[in-house]
Amino acid sequence: MSTPRSFKQELVGVFGYPVAENPTQAMIEPAFADMGLAWRYLTVEVHPDRLGDAVRGARAMGWRGFNCTIPHKIKVIEFLDELSPAAKAIGAVNCVIHRDGKLIGDNTDGKGFVTSVSEVRDPKGLSALILGAGGAARAIAVELALAGASRLTIVNRTAKTGEALAAHVTQQTGVPTDFQPWTGDVAVPSTTDLLVNATSIGLFPDVDARVAVDVTSFRPGLIVSDVIPNPPRTRLIRDAESRGCVVLDGLGMLVNQGVIGIRLWTGQEPKPEVMRQALEDVFSA
């Protein structure tokens, strides 16, 4: 007697434009395989003018959810049914969950970052200096504040966006957040527990680009984190390591936000080590 089989696969994926450089599929599909799930994660290029059609298509085809990346993280909101408290506070969505016929927008970038920090210290009472004021910085600042950070400083090249982010975080979370203009090499104050590079400086192929920080202000025990996933060992991470800092690379954040996404879509726990190894394999290939 033949065994009954199902050829149906559950679908999730990422919508972006451009999207070819996005490595998420390379870590999510190995996690699904390891979990024994017949799920696929597709990397889909969606032109900004067709985002509404793409979301309606995903809904019609019963996709279980999808990630959104640049430039769709804000625009997608108008096509969704609900937002999580984090997505509302951040004002952007990077993860959509299709549940009970509704598309719910969430934001897992900042939570993935906070998970990485929690692996080395309790975020409660932490003082952080955040370089950058774009989407990643916004998610990180809001989630650090919601996780109990006591003070945040935003440093950004463009003062207007930096000031706006500082005001937004203070208003949304009540955590004192100030703005500091980025002039010359930024020195890390001795009261700072965590330095975050949330800019795109150092991203492949500009791997030798230098984040303008005064590395002589780095002290042993300072946590230095870089959002850049490719390459994981950025110049900033290498400098921090050589000065005895605790380092958190961008792969950790990427894996941790992927873990949260898989949990939201499937209700099951993936293995972060399987996902990290899969990414290391593609980046070293």
Active site members? 73
Binding residues for ligand NDP restricted to 240-279, rule: CB under 6 A = 250, 253-254, 257
**How many whole angstroms from its chain centre is CA 26?**
16
- Count of other CB atoms within 10 angstroms of residue 85: 10
Q: Long-range contact list for 269-277, CB < 8 A, 24+ apart?
A: 270/31, 270/32, 270/34, 270/35, 271/31, 271/34, 271/35, 274/30, 274/31, 274/34, 275/27, 275/28, 275/30, 275/31, 276/27, 276/251, 276/252, 277/30
* Residue 229 sits in the site that holds ligand NDP (CB under 6 A): yes
Near ligand NDP by CB under 6 A: residue from 55, 103, 228, 248: 228
Q: What one-letter code names the amino acid at 133? A: A
Near ligand NDP by CB under 6 A: residue from 16, 135, 231, 261: 135
**Residue number with CB closer to ligand NDP (157 or 243):** 157
Residue 107 near residue 72, CB atoms below 8 Å? no
* Residue 156 sits in the site that holds ligand NDP (CB under 6 A): yes
Near ligand NDP by CB under 6 A: residue from 199, 225, 234, 266: 199
Q: Name the one range near ligand NDP by CB under 6 A: 33-41, 98-106, 157-165, 275-283.
A: 157-165
* Residue 233 sits in the site that holds ligand NDP (CB under 6 A): no
Binding site for ligand NDP (CB under 6 A): 70, 109, 112, 132-137, 156-158, 161, 199-201, 203, 227-229, 250, 253-254, 257
